[in-house]
Amino acid sequence: MSEMLDKLQAARIVAIFRAIEDQYADQAAQALLDGGITMMEITMNTDGATRMISRWREKFGHAAGIGAGTVLDLDMAKEAIAAGAQYLISPNLDESVVVYGNEHGVPVWPGCMTPTEIVRAWKAGAEAVKVFPMASLGVKYLAEIRAPLDKIPMLATGGVDLDNIADYFKAGACGVGMGSKLVNLDWVRSGRLDLLTERARQFADAAAAAGAR
């Protein structure tokens, strides 16, 4: 098990930064850290993603795990790892990305939906998978596939809110990926970083409480 998977299973939440402007990125990341969120990914379809990843590794690397999201193919994987990404997350399974990540000591958590994809990812060398899109699949789906595939850690992404986050962990998720419900770009752009920190704290506390049961 990699250090990053250990961090994921301890933190239980990955904050997804998508389409955030560079000028706001650092203060938003700090606001989430202040609220107890320590795993953050910048999606590769965000303008300047690799630049932000490099900068965050310098600024926040002592306190947070910094990853790249929406890594669709091998070229993106190479860019992300060169920028300093500590883990790669995808919405899809591309075995070449998993292999490349492993060769460079960077864990890859590919996006999978079906049991066949999940096992394929695992056999390719993925230590965990992202089950996506959870908002459409639903928590019951996660519980069903966890029963036969209980050896494979699953990061559930989509549809998580304060009311149901405990259900995701009860269904067997090792962590959850969260975008706009956690990284509210309106708050970021209007300077309401206090709201961002408070929201982060609420989710971090809820995840910790779910793990303590």
State the Cα–Cα distance between residues 124 and 101, nearest whole angstrom.
Answer: 11
Domains and CATH numbers, the chain: 3-204 (3.20.20.70)
CA angle 139, 144, 150 (to 5 degrees): 105
Using DSSP's 3-state secondary structure scheme, residue 177 falls into: strand
Q: What does the DSSP assignment read for 38-98?
A: -EEEEETTSTTHHHHHHHHHHHHTTT-EEEEE---SHHHHHHHHHHT-S-EE-SS--HHHH
- Name the phi and psi angles at 85, rounded to 5: -60, 135
Phi, psi angle pair for 74, to nearest 5°: -65, -40
pLDDT at 213 over 70: no
User: How many residues does this entry show for the chain?
Assistant: 213
In the numeric block, which tokens belong to residue 4?
A: 């990053």
What is the predicted pLDDT for the residue at 212? Answer: 60
Catalytic residue among 7, 21, 95, 130: 130
Q: Is 198 a catalytic residue?
A: no
* Sequence-separated (6 or more) residues with CB below 8 Å from residue 149: 115, 118, 119
Q: Is position 59 annotated as part of the catalytic site?
A: no
pLDDT in tens, 80-129: 999 999 999 999 999 999 999 999 999 999 999 999 999 999 999 999 99
Rounded-to-integer distance, Cα 31 and Cα 192, Å: 10
- Please tell me the pTM assigned to this model: 0.97
C-alpha 189/C-alpha 136 separation (Å) is 29
Longest pairwise C-alpha distance within the chain: 46
3-state secondary structure of 99: helix
E strands, the chain, in order: 13-17, 39-43, 65-69, 88-89, 108-109, 111-112, 129-131, 154-157, 175-178
Give tens-digit pLDDT for 152-189: 999 999 999 999 999 999 999 999 999 999 999 999 99
pLDDT on residue 1: 74
Name the active-site residue from 3, 21, 41, 151.
41
Q: 173: part of which helix (H) or strand (E)?
A: none
The pLDDT score that the predictor gives to residue 211 is 74
